[in-house]
Amino acid sequence: AQKVTQAQTEISVVEKEDVTLDCVYETRDTTYYLFWYKQPPSGELVFLIRRNSFDEQNEISGRYSWNFQKSTSSFNFTITASQVVDSAVYFCALSGNNDMRFGAGTRLTVKP
Protein backbone atom coordinates (compact mmCIF):
# COMPACT_ATOMS: atom_id res chain seq x y z
CA ALA A 1 0.00 0.00 0.00
CA GLN A 2 1.11 3.52 -0.65
CA LYS A 3 1.66 5.87 2.23
CA VAL A 4 2.95 9.39 2.71
CA THR A 5 4.11 10.66 6.08
CA GLN A 6 4.61 14.30 6.96
CA ALA A 7 5.74 14.09 10.55
CA GLN A 8 5.73 17.86 11.13
CA THR A 9 2.19 18.96 11.86
CA GLU A 10 2.99 22.63 12.35
CA ILE A 11 6.08 24.76 11.91
CA SER A 12 6.48 28.39 12.90
CA VAL A 13 9.41 30.52 11.74
CA VAL A 14 10.31 34.17 11.59
CA GLU A 15 10.55 35.87 8.24
CA LYS A 16 13.85 35.33 6.40
CA GLU A 17 14.57 32.05 8.14
CA ASP A 18 15.08 28.92 6.07
CA VAL A 19 12.67 26.07 6.70
CA THR A 20 12.57 22.44 5.55
CA LEU A 21 9.38 20.41 5.31
CA ASP A 22 9.90 16.67 5.55
CA CYS A 23 8.16 13.99 3.52
CA VAL A 24 8.70 10.24 3.73
CA TYR A 25 6.87 7.82 1.48
CA GLU A 26 6.24 4.10 1.11
CA THR A 27 5.40 2.31 -2.10
CA ARG A 28 5.95 -1.01 -3.83
CA ASP A 29 5.68 0.50 -7.27
CA THR A 30 8.89 0.80 -9.24
CA THR A 31 7.53 3.76 -11.18
CA TYR A 32 5.89 6.51 -9.21
CA TYR A 33 5.63 10.27 -8.94
CA LEU A 34 6.05 12.60 -6.03
CA PHE A 35 4.42 15.99 -5.66
CA TRP A 36 4.27 19.01 -3.41
CA TYR A 37 1.14 21.16 -3.21
CA LYS A 38 0.51 24.39 -1.37
CA GLN A 39 -2.84 25.21 0.21
CA PRO A 40 -3.09 28.91 1.10
CA PRO A 41 -5.86 30.18 3.42
CA SER A 42 -8.22 30.43 0.44
CA GLY A 43 -8.34 26.62 0.38
CA GLU A 44 -7.52 25.84 -3.21
CA LEU A 45 -4.52 23.54 -3.69
CA VAL A 46 -1.73 24.82 -5.87
CA PHE A 47 0.68 22.47 -7.60
CA LEU A 48 4.35 23.20 -6.88
CA ILE A 49 6.43 20.36 -8.27
CA ARG A 50 6.39 16.83 -9.68
CA ARG A 51 9.24 14.35 -9.57
CA ASN A 52 9.32 10.89 -11.12
CA SER A 53 11.01 7.96 -9.41
CA PHE A 54 13.82 7.81 -11.95
CA ASP A 55 14.91 11.38 -11.55
CA GLU A 56 16.78 12.00 -8.31
CA GLN A 57 18.17 15.33 -9.37
CA ASN A 58 17.46 18.02 -6.87
CA GLU A 59 15.60 21.02 -8.14
CA ILE A 60 15.70 24.68 -7.29
CA SER A 61 13.07 27.21 -8.27
CA GLY A 62 13.69 30.63 -6.82
CA ARG A 63 13.49 30.33 -3.04
CA TYR A 64 12.13 26.78 -3.27
CA SER A 65 14.26 23.65 -3.48
CA TRP A 66 13.48 19.97 -3.32
CA ASN A 67 15.69 17.10 -2.21
CA PHE A 68 14.65 13.65 -3.47
CA GLN A 69 16.51 10.70 -1.95
CA LYS A 70 15.32 7.29 -3.02
CA SER A 71 17.63 5.54 -0.55
CA THR A 72 15.71 7.04 2.36
CA SER A 73 12.36 7.34 0.56
CA SER A 74 12.27 11.04 1.24
CA PHE A 75 11.25 14.08 -0.75
CA ASN A 76 11.95 17.14 1.37
CA PHE A 77 11.04 20.72 0.53
CA THR A 78 13.10 23.72 1.61
CA ILE A 79 12.05 27.36 1.52
CA THR A 80 14.97 29.76 1.72
CA ALA A 81 14.52 33.22 3.22
CA SER A 82 10.89 32.58 4.08
CA GLN A 83 8.26 35.28 3.63
CA VAL A 84 4.88 35.86 5.25
CA VAL A 85 3.21 34.89 1.96
CA ASP A 86 4.67 31.41 2.33
CA SER A 87 2.30 30.78 5.22
CA ALA A 88 0.10 27.87 4.13
CA VAL A 89 -0.46 24.16 4.53
CA TYR A 90 1.92 22.14 2.39
CA PHE A 91 1.07 18.65 1.20
CA CYS A 92 3.37 15.98 -0.11
CA ALA A 93 1.75 13.42 -2.41
CA LEU A 94 2.61 10.13 -4.08
CA SER A 95 1.03 8.64 -7.18
CA GLY A 96 1.53 5.18 -8.58
CA ASN A 97 -0.55 2.74 -10.54
CA ASN A 98 -3.95 3.55 -9.23
CA ASP A 99 -4.26 6.73 -7.27
CA MET A 100 -2.67 9.71 -5.62
CA ARG A 101 -2.11 9.67 -1.85
CA PHE A 102 -1.53 12.76 0.18
CA GLY A 103 0.28 13.25 3.45
CA ALA A 104 -1.51 14.88 6.37
CA GLY A 105 0.07 18.21 5.55
CA THR A 106 2.37 20.60 7.39
CA ARG A 107 1.04 24.00 8.44
CA LEU A 108 3.75 26.60 8.01
CA THR A 109 3.39 29.95 9.71
CA VAL A 110 5.87 32.66 8.84
CA LYS A 111 5.82 35.56 11.27
CA PRO A 112 6.96 39.04 10.31
| Residues near other proteins, by CB under 8 A | 6, 33, 35, 37, 42-47, 50, 52, 91, 93, 95-105
Shortest distance, CB of residue 7 to other proteins, whole angstroms?
12
The SS3 call for residue 70 is helix
Count of Cβ atoms closer than 10 Å to residue 60 Cβ: 10
Q: Is 77 left (phi over 0), alpha (psi -120 to 50) or beta?
A: beta
The SS3 call for residue 72 is helix
Whichever of 86 and 90 has its CB closer to other proteins, that residue is: 90
Cα–Cα distance for residue pair 112/10, rounded to 1 Å: 17
Shortest distance, CB of residue 30 to other proteins, whole angstroms?
13
Whichever of 12 and 52 has its CB closer to other proteins, that residue is: 52
Whichever of 46 and 84 has its CB closer to other proteins, that residue is: 46
Shortest distance, CB of residue 101 to other proteins, whole angstroms?
7
